[in-house]
Structure 1
Amino acid sequence: MAFAGQAAWITGASSGIGAALARGLARQGARLILSGRNVDALEQVSEQCGGGHLILPFETTDHDAIAPAVAAAEEWSGRIDVLINNAGISQRSLAVDTDLSVYERIIAVDLLAPIALTQAVLPAMVKRGSGRIAMISSIAGKVGVPMRTAYCAAKFGLAGYADALRAEVGYLGVQVHNIYPGSIRTDVSRNALTADGSRRGVSDQVIDNGIDPDEAATRMIAAMAAGEREIIVAEGSELAMGEERRMSDSLLDLLGGFMAKGYAKRMNEGAQ
């Protein structure tokens, strides 16, 4: 019960992986901060989790809304122990057909929004020397997948940010997890953007036959509790692709060790 009594903030919590993570963390006794845009759906998730949790709707791409949201979360919970950046949107279109606005939208939602929220929550975690940040990426954040060029660009970027952030704050007591789901049985494909930015509206067979979201969430939570930094939740060929591109623990330890040995200080002194 690694999360008992902890305040866990989940974005994109109204459905899919986010809702499943909420249910899983609630079973461990976590207090939940549930964010998304659909208030009715968030309230239903809260009830599924026993009720009494904070419903905190806001648009993750509205950077002006982040500071008030963080203040509301901290006022309710006292502190944010866990931040799970789950909100996102996928894509199903060939690059040659895709309007630039689709790239702008997906990068805003899948990359800049989680970075912005993390940057707002991070200082308090660093100050107290504890906290946990999880980025819900995708196997498409490790392997370039056709018809997802914008999505891959955002998810690869998110992984890079998280890896660099872990190296900076891991030795200060803040854990950072990269979570790479494969095909999970959600509406991700139905909600994906097409070449002109419209909603696709149909699912993929591989998604419909994918891992149950509650099972996926159980695996993610267990891996976070075990301190795993790269968490791949996939099966079959998706699992094989993810494992092929997994960073070794020795490399992650090496990167984190730079900061503990004064890397930032030496860099700053060299710039003066």
Structure 2
Amino acid sequence: MNQKTIWITGASSGIGEALYKLYEKKGYKLIISARNVKALEKLKNSAFNPTHTYVLPLDLNDTESFQSKCKEAIEAFGQVDLLINNGGISQRSLAQETRLEVDRKIMEVNFFGTIGLSKALLPHFIKNKKGHYAVVSSLVGKFGSPYRTAYAASKHALHGFFDSLRAEHYKDNIKVTLICPGFIRTKVSINALTGDGSVLNQMDEAQEKGMSPEKCALEIFSALEKNKEEVLIGGKEKYAVYLKRFFPSLFSKILRKAKVR
């Protein structure tokens, strides 16, 4: 149905899994990556056409592997047209209680892992004179929020990098879409790191009541089809971006009083 090849990181669950199922149903060729190979194989085996899915294990901490992983991804179906950078890790801890090595780990995965993989694929996009980066950031990539200092910093950094990359490679027909989800009903809070680096292992109330990953995937698909530069996804929480922009003092006051964890 569609000859484009989509590469999705963090594809083993949540938004990544929902995106895989949506694109697979539409007939795209797909490369799915994550550390959980069993979950990826299970996804492939449930596909309408398993031959159109290639499982490529990937650890965003292992930046030394990115060149070989990109080579393998390209060889899987001959090219990569869209890289959806969805892999990452969240945080639930106060800055004062968070060890510096935890801050570094969050930045290493969310920022350096994402840009490292994207830079490794960049020569392929330049050679083909086309390509599309989709970067799953967060609403906290637009504003900071308590208990998410390092996480917010890593997402802010992604915006700076990819806005710059978009301008640098406009002439190469390389597109960038920054995706900013709010509360999506995934395991992101369950897998979030606490101050000492341990996993929270608890679902946020707001996350539990959030948008379904399937609906989020549909909105992402629509934004990518329209080549949008940035998209906000979620419920009423997405309007916080505009509140921050136009009424910063009021936003700060609300944020201080909000029960966010």
TM-score w.r.t. structure 2 length?
0.90
Is the alpha carbon distance of 1:241 and 1:44 closer, same or farther for their aligned partners in structure 2, counting shifts above 3 Å? Answer: same
The amino acid of 2:31's aligned partner reads I
Corresponding residue for residue 26 of structure 1 = 24
Pair 243,45 (structure 1): closer, same or farther in 2 beyond 3 Å: farther
Q: Work out the percentage of aligned pairs sharing the same amino acid.
A: 40
Kindly indicate whether residue 168 of structure 2 is the aligned counterpart of residue 164 of structure 1.
Answer: no
Please give the TM-score of this superposition, normalised by the length of structure 1: 0.87
Is the alpha carbon distance of 1:215 and 1:95 closer, same or farther for their aligned partners in structure 2, counting shifts above 3 Å? same
Q: Does the 8 Å contact 1:170/1:176 carry over to 2?
A: no
Give CA-to-partner distance per residue, 1:184-217, whole Å, 9 cap, x none. Answer: 0000000000010000000111000100001100
User: How many angstroms apart in 2 are the aligned matches of 1:69 and 1:172?
Assistant: 23
Q: Distance in 2 between matches of 1:83 and 1:171?
A: 19
Change (3 A) 1:145 1:6: same
For 1:234, the equivalent position in structure 2 comes to 234
Alignment partner of 1:135 is 2:135: yes
Who is 1:149 aligned against?
A: 149
In the TM superposition, residue 243 of structure 1 has moved relative to its aligned partner by 4.2
SS of 2:59 mapped into structure 1 = coil
Structure 2 CA distance, aligned partners of 1:27 and 1:163?
31
Structure 2 gaps of 5+ residues are: 246-261
User: Following the alignment from structure 1 to structure 2, what is the Cα–Cα distance between the partners of residues 245 and 21?
Assistant: 30
Q: Where in structure 2 are the equivalents of 1:97-246 lying within 5 Å?
A: 97-236=97-236, 238-244=237-243
Task: Provide Cα deviations, 1:102-139, integer angstroms capped at 9, x if missing partner.
Answer: 10100000000010000010111112211110110000
Q: d(CA) in 1 for partners of 2:149 and 2:102? A: 10
Question: How many residue pairs end up in the alignment?
Answer: 243
Matched position secondary structure for 1:14 = coil
Match of 2:257 in 1: none
> In 2 relative to 1, CA 69–245 (structure 1 residues): closer, same or farther, beyond 3 Å?
farther
2:7 alignment partner, SS class: strand
* Equivalent position SS for 1:194: coil
Runs ≥4 residues deviating over 4 A: 243-246
- The SS at the match of 1:178 is strand
**1:45-98, CA deviations, whole angstroms, 9 ceiling, x for partnerless residues?**
223332221100021111111111111111111011010111000000000111
Match in the other structure for 2:4: 6
Instruction: Tell me the C-alpha RMSD between the 2 structures.
Output: 1.3
Structure 2: which amino acid aligns with 1:176?
A: V
Q: Secondary structure at the match of 1:147?
A: coil
More moved, 156-165 vs 37-46: 37-46
**Which letter maps to 1:173?**
N
Name the CA distance, whole Å, in 1 between partners of 2:205 and 2:87: 22
Note if contact 1:232-1:243 (Cα within 8 Å) is conserved in structure 2.
no
Deviation of the 1:28 alpha carbon: 2.2
Q: What amino acid sits opposite 2:156 in the alignment?
A: F
